[in-house]
Structure 1
Amino acid sequence: MKTIIQVIFIFCCILIKSQSGTDLSIKDIDNNQSVSMALLDNSPSIVFANSIPKQLSLNTNNLSNLSVEVTPFYYLNKKKYEGYEFFGLKDTLSTFKYKSGGFHNLSKITLSLNAIPKDSVTTIAFGARTNILTLYNFSPKELHELFVEIANDDDITEKAKEKLKGKGIDEPSVATDEYGKYVILLEEEKDRIKKELKVEEKLSSFINQLKNPMVTLDVSGAYSSISPNNRISTFRTDRYGIWSTLGLSFNLNKDYTRFFKFYFFLRYLKDNYIEDNLISTNQFTDVGLKFQVVLSKKFSTAYEYVKRNGDGGDYRSVGQIQWKFSDELTFNGGFGKNFEISNTNLITFLGISWGFVNNPKTKN
């Protein structure tokens, strides 16, 4: 009942938030999935990467498993999350330059907390992830050319004034009553120039180049603790692991709305359990592949296969769908075979992800 109330509260927030106005923020179809959930193999997907972390996101799975993710640097230094510098691009006179070193990407680290209370057992998991490498389809020079063409509002204003002047309409003094009418005519002329220069198309291309990089490499780590009797004094280490995800993205149409994405996943786990009143440890190495087809800005489908090697080999084979209801709300579904958990391996996941979309803007 408590979990259902939490979910209802989340939906109320979503409905209010989804009514707010939109802007030209750089957003993505892929909403965050929780690293702490992935550690426990308890999410629609455990193979995922997202180069654009959310300020804050809530994830629930089958209405019984709730996790929270936060990107601390959104709150510590918001300036670094406004504009192209968020993506490690430093503007120069003729091109962009990638910022050197990993500290820029490390500043985008995302932390997660996952709690799973049950009748006799409570599990708490902590996780962290960050991107350490991103490569785009366009070169820094090509990205810069696109950026200049969409960010030259002053030049467009001057061109619009020249065109109005050619029509015999001079700019009046700000103190006159005619100035308000002139501003309206100026904005209309600017809109016509932007259409001629195809600014909106170029803006869309610039945004999609940034939100769908050609290559990404993420690293993640997580730790879980378990209390067999729901008492603080009985908490002990349950599982911990570290893993990396390499993502490749291939554009399928000129509008940058359809993509084929390929992921390679490598994870090391240590899993503790009690046997004959003694704590024993299993060690696993998970190797996985995922194929994802983004069919539109709102819908994608995927399949992932993960082979578990080590003490008691196993595998996970799950088909997935993802529907983006709004920039804040995403539904994730998964069906297939999971690793052996509680003597059952048939899984059906319904995941809901909701996040504060404070993504970087195309302009400062």
Structure 2
Amino acid sequence: MKSYYLIIPIFLSLCVTAQEVDLSQFTLANTSSPAFVLVEETPTAIYMPENLKALAIHALDNFGESLSVELAPHFLINQNRKDRTYQQYIGVMVDPDTKELKQNPFSGLNTTTLSLAYVNKDFSGLADERKTYSLGLRTTLLRFYNKEKVHANTIGMATALSNIKVPSEVLIQGEEAIQEYYNSNQDEINALIQPFQKTIKPLFRLDAAAGYSVLFKENKIDSGTASRFGSWLTAETSIILNENNEAKTNNYFNLFLTGRYIEDGFNATGTDFFTNYYRDFGGKVEFEFGRVGFAYEYISRDGTISSERSVGSINFTITKDITINGGFGKDFAVTEDNLITIFGIHWGLNTGNSKVKLN
């Protein structure tokens, strides 16, 4: 019998009624966490994640002694809501009444993350390393995209998904056969949608973050605690460098500005702890070329003690779920011995349902 094909939407799960995009297929772009930034143990202190993973794990070069876990609740709650769509997630959609593109600048709130960390760290005035425990919160307050570019990419992805062809003899065999066909042709299907999974950065984005950290004064649980608190804003603007639809990746020039307030109680003279107060202002320039990013950041610190941080960094994407980065330069310090070399690895995981629908 002659074989023929039907063109139908294929989903990344069985028997659903709309095309779906699996956010887990997008690349992790999250090189730190607020819990790590607060204790100043990161290759980069200025960053703006596009966190499309339900869970991210950050580890530093002293593996086992410094670890941070960052959770994105958006991917774990309200998974069955009907308005859980890619357009809602990205914040660019067609108005049902006017048929014009509209943008929700507050859609970045669904990228809110909660982070936990512990770090073994040397502090000025303390004779030995202290393990600190940190809690951090981060969210995107505002973000603005090129609406036309995002919409065209969404339409392209929907068209690619809807044009996947499944043989009729597979269709009539039911769900298990369709799923088996999908599994056996996953490389081909992924190749169809890969051009639409390139990173599209907002033209402008504003993030807010805060963190709180404690250590035990005498390295014993019953010895009392000292604390550090910080809050900061980070703004980013991104300019695409290759307006070429044939390119495998989007390359960007990114400019960051940040302002921070810190109450630092991790200071000691003998057995007496005291608090310093700081205001940090700085910026960062970054070039992204596919899997590799090069950056330089400078932060000026004023307050109880004046200091500065001047660090160059490199970021490399190994897979869509794993990135590594490293930084070298001068960290905040009151002594001349403040050179730092820090290496970090970042692993994105997806738990629960990370799929959103395409309308």
Q: TM-score, normalised by structure 1?
A: 0.72
Aligned equivalent of 1:340: 333
Q: Given residue 329 of structure 1, which amino acid in structure 2 is its aligned partner?
A: I
- The verdict on how the C-alpha distance between 1:267 and 1:85 changes in structure 2, with shifts beyond 3 A counting, is same
Cα distance between partner residues in 1 of 2:113 and 2:299: 24
Cα distance between partner residues in 2 of 1:264 and 1:117: 29
Q: Given residue 310 of structure 1, which amino acid in structure 2 is its aligned partner?
A: G
Cα distance between partner residues in 2 of 1:342 and 1:70: 36
Aligned equivalent of 2:154: 147
The correspondence for 2:285, drawn from 291, 296, 311, is: 291
Matched, 1:307 2:300: yes
Cα distance between partner residues in 1 of 2:138 and 2:240: 26
Report the CA distance between 1:311 and its aligned residue: 1.3
2:281–2:299: 8 Å Cα contact kept in structure 1?
Answer: yes
Alignment of 1:310-321 (within 5 A): 310-321=303-314
The correspondence for 1:229, drawn from 207, 218, 231, is: 218
Report the CA distance between 1:314 and its aligned residue: 0.5
Cα distance between partner residues in 1 of 2:348 and 2:356: 17
Matched, 1:274 2:268: yes
> After superposition, what is the alpha-carbon deviation per residue over 1:165-214, rounded to whole angstroms, capped at 9, x for unaligned?
xxxxxx99x889xxx9xxx9xxxxxx9xx9xxxx959x735x446x4111
Report the CA distance between 1:50 and its aligned residue: 1.4
Alignment of 1:231-246 (within 5 A): 231-246=220-235
> After superposition, what is the alpha-carbon deviation per residue over 1:105-157, rounded to whole angstroms, capped at 9, x for unaligned?
43432111111247662211111101011111234xx5435534542479869
Matched, 1:138 2:147: yes
Cα distance between partner residues in 2 of 1:246 and 1:133: 9
Secondary structure in 2 aligned to 1:37? helix
- The verdict on how the C-alpha distance between 1:348 and 1:341 changes in structure 2, with shifts beyond 3 A counting, is farther
Report the CA distance between 1:33 and its aligned residue: 1.0
Cα distance between partner residues in 1 of 2:115 and 2:58: 10
Report the CA distance between 1:217 and its aligned residue: 0.6
Secondary structure in 2 aligned to 1:269? strand
Cα distance between partner residues in 2 of 1:155 and 1:204: 15
Report the CA distance between 1:99 and its aligned residue: 3.8
Cα distance between partner residues in 1 of 2:320 and 2:93: 27
Would you tell me which structure has more helix in proportion to its own residues?
Answer: 1
Aligned equivalent of 2:103: 98
- The verdict on how the C-alpha distance between 1:106 and 1:233 changes in structure 2, with shifts beyond 3 A counting, is farther
Secondary structure in 2 aligned to 1:86? helix
Q: Compute the RMSD of aligned alpha carbons.
A: 3.5
Report the CA distance between 1:335 and its aligned residue: 0.6
Cα distance between partner residues in 1 of 2:162 and 2:118: 54
2:28–2:322: 8 Å Cα contact kept in structure 1?
Answer: no
Alignment of 1:74-85 (within 5 A): 74-79=75-80, 83-85=86-88
Identity over aligned pairs, percent: 28
Cα distance between partner residues in 2 of 1:96 and 1:242: 35
- The verdict on how the C-alpha distance between 1:285 and 1:305 changes in structure 2, with shifts beyond 3 A counting, is same
Secondary structure in 1 aligned to 2:111? coil
Aligned equivalent of 1:55: 54
User: In terms of Rg, which structure is larger?
Assistant: 1
Matched, 1:204 2:220: no
Secondary structure in 2 aligned to 1:344? coil
Aligned equivalent of 1:111: 114
Q: Given residue 343 of structure 2, which amino acid in structure 1 is its aligned partner?
A: L
Secondary structure in 1 aligned to 2:75? helix
- The verdict on how the C-alpha distance between 1:283 and 1:360 changes in structure 2, with shifts beyond 3 A counting, is farther
Cα distance between partner residues in 1 of 2:172 and 2:300: 73
Report the CA distance between 1:355 and its aligned residue: 1.2
Matched, 1:260 2:267: no
